[in-house]
Amino acid sequence: MRERHGEDGYAMVAAVAGIAVMAMIAATLVQFTNQSVNTFAAETGRTQALAATDAGVYIALGGMLRQASRGGLIGGQVHRFRFATATIEIRVEDERGKIMLNRIDEENIVWLLEALGVQGDRLAVARDSFLDWIDQDEIERPDGGESDYYAPRGIKPRNDGPHTIDEMAEIRGFTPSLVDRFRQLSTVDSGNFAFDPRFADPLSIAVMTDGQFDSPAILERKRELAGQRTAISLDSVNDMTGRVVTIVATAKIDNGGTATRRVIVELTGSSRAPYVIRSAS
């Protein structure tokens, strides 16, 4: 009887252990299922948001082409609207209002770095490294870098103006956050146009006007961006020919998905092929 009682006890322990193991497996499966559902929901939300940003880009393009003679969307202001289950914000930046990195000189690059809050040793490294990147010699500046510096990283200096903003991330001293700030204020896709303060961010105007951060042009542009005065209008449809703009579209889906799309577009002025997409990210 003692042996039978002991066997029953072991059986009970085994049964309880089995139940515990099954409970752990069930809990793991539930957790895995919940994670899968959450991941699927997040991916679905992001996919929907990306589709909405594409819609925002084409809505912006349509708005510019329809309103070519009245100014349209170009000007840098944010336009917000609903599309299906998304809230979309679009901003159209005229590349003529940005600092041309392939034409910038030493003073301008210093003013630009200072305007973005880069100081001290970080400023010296970013300045010298940028200048070494664009010059055509192998003479390394005190805080810069030429081929010998980049070779272990598998990078070759351009020895010319940068071809893309993303390229700036390869230059010594340029962090991802600094490159993102450059993306907002500078360009390599201005076409053959000169810098035009009528379409520029106030910081860009300051950098291109000898570092004067309180000039009348800056004050006027700040009022314009704040909606306190009418934005510059285009004179005619011919003003569209050759114009290069960046369309920034951000979408937030009601279920939580978000996405941002940046598209650089050249407007041709042609009714048959009114625009050419230069790049998209």
Task: Clarify whether residues 84 and 11 are in a common domain.
Answer: yes
Instruction: State yes or no: pLDDT of 134 exceeds 60.
Output: yes
112, amino acid identity: L
Instruction: State yes or no: pLDDT of 55 exceeds 80.
Output: yes
Domain count, the chain: 2
pLDDT, tens digit, for every residue of 215-253? 777 877 777 777 665 555 444 445 667 888 889 999 998
Hunting for tokens 């809505």 — which residue is that? 59
Does residue 2 lie within any of the structural domains?
A: yes
Does residue 194 lie within any of the structural domains?
A: yes
Does residue 179 lie within any of the structural domains?
A: no
**What is the rounded CA–CA span in Å between residue 76 and residue 227?**
11
pLDDT at residue 179 in the model:
94
Who's near 3: CB < 8 A, 6+ residues apart?
Answer: none
Question: Strands 99-100, 186-187: parallel, antiparallel or unpaired by DSSP?
Answer: parallel
Task: Clarify whether residues 122 and 137 are in a common domain.
Answer: yes
Does residue 269 lie within any of the structural domains?
A: yes
Kindly state the tokens that stand for 40. 């699927």
Who's near 51: CB < 8 A, 6+ residues apart?
Answer: none
Does residue 76 lie within any of the structural domains?
A: yes
**What is the rounded CA–CA span in Å between residue 46 and residue 253?**
8
Range of the domain at 263: 1-98+190-281
Q: What's the distance, Cα to Cα, between the start and end of the chain in Å?
A: 78
Lowest mean pLDDT: which of 2-11, 173-182, 249-258? 2-11
Does residue 263 lie within any of the structural domains?
A: yes
**What is the rounded CA–CA span in Å between residue 113 and residue 101?**
12
**Banded pLDDT at 73 (limits 50, 70, 90):** low
Task: Clarify whether residues 110 and 161 are in a common domain.
Answer: yes
Does residue 185 lie within any of the structural domains?
A: no
Task: Clarify whether residues 36 and 63 are in a common domain.
Answer: yes
Lowest mean pLDDT: which of 53-57, 133-137, 237-241? 237-241
Task: Clarify whether residues 6 and 61 are in a common domain.
Answer: yes
Task: Clarify whether residues 94 and 196 are in a common domain.
Answer: yes
271, amino acid identity: S
